[in-house]
């Protein structure tokens, strides 16, 4: 079953990583894709790689840190396409700094991008999905969105907030045939650790050793598509590192022993 054929799918974070891989697969399945990123040149590169399928991709450039234009952008896309069937929120940013050294403005910046940027688009699209009687809103968390983790206080908090929002969205709107799902990635070979913010707001600039051994964005995208197709509330993406979710839940003492040994300096 190809449930994306002739559907309108909005993907944020579409200019790299999992978002890029998802765009290739979903547009290849016959969908119309609204592709968003704050990096216009990178997004153009991605769209150009789609060849003749590029006519089915509609770039919408905006920054998740500035949500003031989102309502207007959504209105324009609804007018153009008539509907939006899926929103897949993949844009976001990570962190590599201790709580002590992280200034409050950086906490706010990470929360603004990861949480408010995601919910602003979701809230703007939701009334149209309710009116059309169907829709699926998907947002990206992380395994550290299920537990605290050293050097990621603001990142972990923003991702845990996503769970509460999307679960509530699903519970309130399932009666309208509008669903909510959360993607929970472990280690995926993307630039998220390279672009993670240090205490001064600069980029970390290197890929974490564990992440280098992670699954590819293409494999992650396939897992996400399967999860959406099955209407899973939580879509786990990764390999052996996902066991930390079960250790934290069933053996919290072991989890805290493992996590507390991670070097923070």
Which residues are tagged catalytic? 155
Angle between helical axes of 17-28 and 217-229 (0-180°, round to 10): 60
| Residues in Cβ contact with 64 at an 8 Å cutoff, skipping those fewer than 6 apart | 12, 38, 91, 92, 112, 113, 114, 117, 118
Q: How many CB atoms lie under 10 A from the CB of residue 255?
A: 18
Dist CA 102 CA 105 (whole Å): 8
Q: How many CB atoms lie under 10 A from the CB of residue 27?
A: 22
Task: Determine contact, residues 27/57, Cβ cutoff 8 Å.
Answer: yes
Dist CA 189 CA 147 (whole Å): 21
Checking 39-42 for CB contacts under 8 A at 24+ apart, the result is: 39/15, 42/15, 42/16
Task: Determine contact, residues 66/121, Cβ cutoff 8 Å.
Answer: no
Checking 126-130 for CB contacts under 8 A at 24+ apart, the result is: 126/169, 126/173, 126/178, 128/74, 128/78, 128/83, 128/84, 129/84, 129/173, 129/176, 129/178, 130/173, 130/176, 130/178
Q: How many CB atoms lie under 10 A from the CB of residue 131?
A: 12
Report residue 87: phi and psi, to 5°.
-120, 120
């Amino acid at each position: 079953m190809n449930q994306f054929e002739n559907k309108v799918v909005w993907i944020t974070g579409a200019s790299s990583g999992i978002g890029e891989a998802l765009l290739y697969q979903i547009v290849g399945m016959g969908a119309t894709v609204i592709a968003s990123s704050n990096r216009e040149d990178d997004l153009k590169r991605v769209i150009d790689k789609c060849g003749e399928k590029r006519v089915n991709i509609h770039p919408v450039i905006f920054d998740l840190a500035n949500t003031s234009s989102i309502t207007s952008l959504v209105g324009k896309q609804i007018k153009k396409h008539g509907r939006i069937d899926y929103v897949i929120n993949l844009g976001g940013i990570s962190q590599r700094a201790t709580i002590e050294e992280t200034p409050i403005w950086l906490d706010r910046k990470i929360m603004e991008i990861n949480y408010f940027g995601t919910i602003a688009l979701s809230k703007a699209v939701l009334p149209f999905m309710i009116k059309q009687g169907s829709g699926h809103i998907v947002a990206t968390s992380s395994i550290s969105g299920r537990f605290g983790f050293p050097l990621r206080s603001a990142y972990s908090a923003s991702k845990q907030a996503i769970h509460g929002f999307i679960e509530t969205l699903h519970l309130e709107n399932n009666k309208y045939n509008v669903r909510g799902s959360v993607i929970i990635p472990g280690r995926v070979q993307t630039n998220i650790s390279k672009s993670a913010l240090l205490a001064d707001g600069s980029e970390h600039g290197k890929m974490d050793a564990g992440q280098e051994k992670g699954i590819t964005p293409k494999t992650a995208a396939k897992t996400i598509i399967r999860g959406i197709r099955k209407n899973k509330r939580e879509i786990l993406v990764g390999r052996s590192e996902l066991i930390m979710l079960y250790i934290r839940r069933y053996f919290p003492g072991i989890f805290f022993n493992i996590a507390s040994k991670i070097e923070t300096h």
